[in-house]
Chain A
Amino acid sequence: MDPAKYLLGYALVVLLAVSEAFPMSLSALIGAALLVAFGVSDGVVSFGEALSFVDLELLALLVGVMIVVEVVDRCGTFRYLALKVVRKALRKPALLLVATGLLSALTSLLLSDEAALLLIVAILLSLGKAGGLDPIPFAVSSAIMVNLGGTGTLVGSVPNMAIGIRAGFSFPEFASYLLPCEFALYGVTLALLYAYYRGKLRPSGRELELEEIEVSMAGVAKGAFLLSLMLSLLIAAGIADVPASAAALASAVVALALSGFDTLSVFQRLDWDTVFFTAAFTVIIGVLERVEALNGLALWLQEAAGGSLPLASIIVLLVSCVASLLLPNLIVALSFIPVIEDLPFANKRPLWSALVLGANFGGVGLPVSSFVIVMTIGALRREGYVIDPWSITRVGIPMTAAWIAFSAIYLLIRFGLV
């Protein structure tokens, strides 16, 4: 049995996903069908075994969190908080940069990156239309902070969920390894963004006032309650050694029951493309593991690190970051998981943490490497602003380098590798 054809099938999926010839889910489903067919014909895997490669715990966590996030988003809780904060900071551009940056990162820590960015960019562009400010520096900064936000929690991004579950990290454990790094990076990133955009942070000559904010306070409170409930259940599940997916599903059921929203319309808004992609891609990775097609990468990494855990962690951080500059970060995370599992280190926590950081950080280096950057450019253009996509690279590449340098030092200190 030749693993080359399996690797070719994998490469085809990656190519289809990156070229966006089909939706990501369909690309992965085509690849999964192909690899399972190879596996069955070579007698290395049965169809039933291939189905068992679907990571149900990951899917349960993903769908549970998606439901809660959709309900909380509809409740308007984050919209209300964001508008309140922006209203306070409106007259001081530097403060507004910090406030919108922190809002973006903290919102994406709990909501999806897409929902967080759409909210912040919509607010900034509304203010821009009203003549209050030039939204470009604020919007680009928000996109960068959204990409950073969500790195530190198990539910902050889909790659985090995939890595966290396979690493066996509970919600509190995951946060204890990665949240301090994320919070420290907020300071580093905001300082760099301020230094870069300082000359462009000018209020317009026109006075801008935000009057009362019209939202349903009952909805705001309901959203805050549901989010607190999910976080509490995730923490409690971690302490009681119950899977995080159970906490997420329980929160989703409560959210649907209490919200009063039409359940089917909530389901319709979920990101099913990501759900099906994740399911199909875990099958692809399962088949590749079965035919030991990824062993080469693990061996290379092992040799490059020379048996040194600190060096292996730094290599994982760098390679996964560079890969996520070019590929969707979920592909990077899912592909690296079996590689990390194959490495012969007893303590894999630094390696898992390095993978989380690397896979999350590649998102702002190139204009097309991140959905949030593309969304920001698209929204700015819709409102008539002229923005060169490469102007984001001029900020994104040095920022990514700064994140990697900081994270490398953090990993060495946090896990006592020096």
Chain B
Amino acid sequence: MTGATVAKMEELIERRFKSVETKYQEELELVNEALGKPCIVLHVKLPEGCEEYRELFEQLQDDEEFMAELREFIRETLRKRVERRAPEEGAQS
């Protein structure tokens, strides 16, 4: 096979893959998000005084904005706990 044929085939492969590259990257992100991350399962009861918001409360588990806020809250909590633990460990040693 000539070099020109190989080059044409390579160009075809590249062009065709480009047409699905965005979808591939999206799928890769979704898989990476689902894969290999530790996960904890929490059962959160409807807080007292919020009985009338039951429906809204139940929708939170599928609410992307809420999940993003929750992840930020967890990030902040972990950071504070690490900071708090560092002086305690220093004092013990």
Contacts and interface: CB of A to CB of B under 8 A. Distances in A.
Interface of A: 20, 76, 79-80, 83, 114, 118-119, 121-123, 125-127, 130, 209-216, 218-219, 367-368, 371, 374-375, 377-379, 381-382, 389
B16 interface: yes
Interface stretch (B25-33, B47-55, B76-84): B25-33
Nearest to A379: B24
Contacts of B61: 216, 218
Interface string B1-42: 000000001101111111011011001101111111111010
B16 A371 contact: yes
A214 B67 CA distance: 12
B12 A211 contact: no
B37 A20 contact: no
A378 B37 contact: no
A371 B24 CA distance: 13
Contacts of A130: 35-36
B31 A122 contact: yes
Contacts of A114: 20, 23
Contacts of A121: 24
B89 interface: no
A103 to B, nearest CB: 13
Nearest to B23: A118
A374 B32 CA distance: 23
Chain B interface size band reads 20 to 34
B21 to A, nearest CB: 7
Contact of A374 (B17, B28, B38): B17
Given A126-B35, A374-B16, A382 B27 contact: no
B65 interface: no
Nearest to B41: A212
A127 to B, nearest CB: 8
B35 A123 contact: yes
B13 A378 contact: yes
Contacts of B30: 76, 79, 122
Given A216-B62, A375-B17, A378-B16, A211 B36 contact: yes
A211 B31 contact: no
Contacts of A209: 36
Contact of A389 (B9, B28, B32, B41): B9
A378 to B, nearest CB: 3
Contacts of B23: 114, 118
B39 A211 contact: yes
B36 A210 contact: yes
Contact of B34 (A83, A378, A379): A83
Nearest to A215: B34
23 contacts: A20-B15, A118-B23, A119-B27, A125-B28, A126-B28, A126-B32, A126-B35, A212-B38, A212-B39, A213-B35, A214-B34, A214-B37, A214-B39, A215-B34, A368-B9, A374-B12, A375-B17, A375-B20, A375-B24, A378-B24, A379-B17, A379-B24, A382-B24
A18 to B, nearest CB: 10
Nearest to B8: A368
A201 B10 CA distance: 27
